[in-house]
Amino acid sequence: MNKQKALLPITTLAMTFAFAVWAVFSPLASTFQEMYGLTSTQKSILVAIPVLLGSIMRIPLGIWTDRFGGRQLFSLLLLFLIIPLVGAGFADSYAMLMFWAFFIGMAGTSFAISVTFVSRLTPPEKQGTALGINAMGNIGTAVASFSVPSIAAAFGVKWAFWGMMIPVVIMLLLVWFFTPDMPKPKQQKTMLESLSVLKYKHTWTLSLFYFVTFGAFVAFGIYLPSLLIDLYGLTPVDAGLRAAGFTVIATLARPIGGNLGDKIGAERVLTFVYAGITIGALAIAFGMENIIVMTAACLFIAIMSGLGNGAVFKLVPQLFPAETGAVTGIVGAWGGLGGFFPPILLGMVKDATGSYMLGFILLSLFALICFLLNRTVFGKKAGKTAKTYVS
C-beta separation of 53 from 108 below 8 A: yes
Beta carbons within 10 angstroms of residue 26's beta carbon: 28
Q: CA–CA separation, 293 vs 200, rounded Å?
A: 41
pLDDT at 234 over 50: yes
Residue-level pLDDT at 387:
42
The DSSP symbol for 384 reads S
C-beta separation of 23 from 222 below 8 A: yes
Helix (H, G, I), strand (E, B) or coil at 6: helix
Q: CA–CA separation, 390 vs 42, rounded Å?
A: 42
Residue-level pLDDT at 230:
87
User: Picking from 8-12, 177-181, 201-205, 240-244, which range would have the lowest pLDDT averaged per residue?
Assistant: 240-244
Residue-level pLDDT at 128:
64
Helix (H, G, I), strand (E, B) or coil at 184: coil
Q: Which residue has the higher pLDDT, 239 or 280?
A: 280
Reported confidence tier of residue 380, pLDDT bands at 50, 70, 90: low
Q: Per DSSP, which regions of the chain are E strands? A: none
Backbone angles phi, psi at 118, to 5 degrees: -70, -45
Any idea which fold 3-178+199-379 has?
Growth Hormone; Chain: A; (1.20.1250)
Residue-level pLDDT at 115:
82
User: Picking from 259-263, 272-276, 359-363, which range would have the lowest pLDDT averaged per residue?
Assistant: 259-263
Reported confidence tier of residue 388, pLDDT bands at 50, 70, 90: very low
Report the pLDDT averaged over residues 314-340.
80
Residue-level pLDDT at 78:
96
Residues 6+ apart with CB under 8 A from 34: none
Q: CA–CA separation, 1 vs 305, rounded Å?
A: 37
Q: Which of 117-126, 307-316, 361-370 has the highest mean pLDDT?
A: 361-370
Express each pLDDT in 45-67 by its tens digit. Answer: 898 888 888 888 988 888 788 78
Q: Which residue has the higher pLDDT, 279 or 192?
A: 279
Three-state secondary structure along 315-357? HHHHHCCCCHHHHHHHHHHHHHHHHHHHHHHHHHHHHHHCCCH
Q: CA–CA separation, 251 vs 256, rounded Å?
A: 10
Q: Got the DSSP string for 188-209?
A: PPPHHHHGGGGGSHHHHHHHHH
The pTM assigned to this predicted structure is 0.79
Residue-level pLDDT at 124:
66
Q: Which of 14-23, 63-72, 193-202 has the highest mean pLDDT?
A: 14-23
Reported confidence tier of residue 84, pLDDT bands at 50, 70, 90: very high
Beta carbons within 10 angstroms of residue 36's beta carbon: 15
Residue-level pLDDT at 372:
95
Express each pLDDT in 10-36 by its tens digit. Answer: 999 999 999 999 989 988 888 898 899
Residue-level pLDDT at 389:
43
Express each pLDDT in 328-372 by its tens digit. Answer: 788 888 988 888 888 888 888 888 888 889 989 999 999 999 999
The percent of residues in the chain predicted with pLDDT above 90, rounded, is 41
Beta carbons within 10 angstroms of residue 312's beta carbon: 29
Closest by CA to 381, choosing from 263, 265, 262, is 265
Express each pLDDT in 147-163 by its tens digit. Answer: 898 899 899 999 999 99
Report the pLDDT averaged over residues 87-94.
93
The domain segmentation of the chain, as residue ranges, is: 3-178+199-379
C-beta separation of 333 from 343 below 8 A: no
Residue-level pLDDT at 391:
38
Q: What value does the mean pLDDT of the chain take?
A: 86
Cα–Cα separations (whole angstroms), residue 10 to 3, 33, 114: 10, 36, 10
Residue-level pLDDT at 322:
66
C-beta separation of 382 from 268 below 8 A: yes
Report the pLDDT averaged over residues 232-249.
87
pLDDT at 381 over 60: no
